[in-house]
Structure 1
């Protein structure tokens, strides 16, 4: 599914951030692995009427009902049809578990904190600056690091947590 990459040396002498990296609209993004519980292939998604456009719908994950957000739409990118590379990243944001639909998941990696820089103005003009932690340099690649708590505002997170089932298992009929 995706590969794990460690920086050369793997001595962990320098503080680093462990990331799950993924692709959206031709750009590479990363989120802190501590917020990610798992990555799954895209199952059947049930659409919910009268929800924000970025809400793709609901999925049943082992008896728990989770809201799925289309991250392309949330970041105002052109949405892409779901294909065999598409994945849902299950994350926890402010005690709410939800799924983020992404084009593909690339790898799990360590990024030295020294390679993270503030986002340049060009990126801030395309993506709301408050969604960004920074930009990480990995060789000749640039990773846009997202702050998931800000990608979805507090009010939205509360609203979405009402759509998801509580931690107890939900029986499926």
Structure 2
């Protein structure tokens, strides 16, 4: 059995493994960083920690949506870097049985390495994503630069 947090981006449902999750928070003020990669919305101050925030819709090439009262930031670990993922809404934590899981079709896996599989939940299909594969190696390096606590000191030359 696998537990996943199920969330929505537009009309589609996605899920991430509960073990990749740190917490789910309401939308908060995001500080936009000039010349940041297109998918990094900015950074937030989460209890004294600077956390980069990724707009998953932009990252996945989906139509931009507006931030609503249901929008959330899912705080996750991406290869030892903490990041926030903007999602339209969170529905539940679901327990999935192995027989409900399927590998993605071969045609999808070429351009969507982040898709771990597909899960059947009643009449719905949940696209399971691997947080470690949301970004490529170069993008992960960019993300690390946004979350380093000593970035300010390096910029100042101290």
User: Normalising to structure 2: TM-score of the pair?
Assistant: 0.89
* Coordinate RMSD, CA, aligned: 1.8
Match of residue 69, structure 1, among 51, 54, 60: 54
2:142 equivalent to 1:159:
yes
Q: Distance in 1 between matches of 2:106 and 2:91?
A: 26
Name structure 1 gaps, 5 residues minimum: 1-15, 168-173
Distance in structure 2 (CA, Å) of the matches to 1:141 and 1:78: 21
| Distance across 2 between alignment mates of 1:96 and 1:107 | 24
Runs of 4+ in 1 over 6 A off after TM superposition: none
The residue correspondences of 1:42-81 to structure 2 (distance < 5 A) are: 42-81=27-66
Q: How many residues align?
A: 150
CA distance in 2 between partners of 1:64 and 1:70 (Å): 19
Aligned to 1:93: 78
Q: Under a length normalisation based on structure 1, what TM-score does the superposition of the two structures give?
A: 0.82
Of the candidates 13, 19, 32, which is equivalent to residue 17 of structure 2? 32
Alpha-carbon distance between aligned partners in 1 of 2:91 and 2:21, rounded to the nearest angstrom:
14
Deviations 1:22-73 (A, max 9, x none): 0002100000010000000010001011111111000000000000000000
Q: Provide the C-alpha distance between the structure 2 equivalents of 1:63 and 1:165, rounded to a whole number of angstroms.
A: 13
